[in-house]
Amino acid sequence: MPAVEAPEYQVARRVVVNPKATALIVVDMQNDFVKPGGALVVEQAKGTMSAIQRLLALARRSGMVVLYTQDTHDPGDPEFPIWGQHVLRGSWGWQIVDELAPQAGERVIQKLRYDGFFGTPLDHELRMKDIKTVIVCGTVANICVLHTAGSAALRGYKVILPVDAISAITPFDQQVAIRQTSFLYGGVITTSEAITIA
């Protein structure tokens, strides 16, 4: 197959957010995707944990809303023919990794499909808190992260994507997610260290 060159996109060196109107969404950082022995491990995911921890620290320190999505499946789920059995409700693989565990008051949104908004109260949670901007991180970049970021943008939220805090199965998939977030959804591409509080 021919090599494909990713189109250029801008990476913002400094992004200032208002913590009262911004939410951090941590997507599917669960044992099955991150930890050795998981059912569907994304090799890059473990390497993003320090960046996600940095974002969590910033969010918690500034009073930003923190939400998690938790991919959730039951036996016979229609995704299993595609990916195999993973994140079975209540299993070890379904749990969010200890290193990024939610704190008291941080909402965990269980989702049945790639999109964190589809069939969940995520949009309601954000609107009740008058959120205008979402920082989306986690895994998998071109699947659940991209679908959640895109769905947020289609609902009118400003999307910020820190590239060091997302992971994908292949480098190509990672670049697709970044390109689509930037080009299709007008998202701000940046890094975890570049995000600061107004």
Q: What is the DSSP letter of 8?
A: P
Q: Where are the domains of the chain?
A: 15-197
69: alpha, beta or left? (left if phi > 0; alpha if psi -120 to 50): beta
Tens of pLDDT, residues 117-153: 999 999 999 999 999 999 999 999 999 999 999 999 9
Q: Are 167 and 173 spatial neighbours (Cβ–Cβ below 8 Å)?
A: no
Is CATH 3.20.20.70 what the domain over 15-197 is classified as, yes or no?
no
Tens of pLDDT, residues 33-52: 999 999 999 999 999 999 99
Q: Are 142 and 168 spatial neighbours (Cβ–Cβ below 8 Å)?
A: yes
pLDDT at residue 26, as a whole number: 98
Cβ-proximal residues to 181 (8 Å cutoff; 6+ apart), any chain: 146, 149, 150, 153, 159, 161, 187, 189
Q: What is the mean pLDDT of residues 102-130?
A: 97
- pTM over the 0.75 mark: yes
Q: What is the mean pLDDT of residues 63-69?
A: 98
pLDDT at residue 135, as a whole number: 98
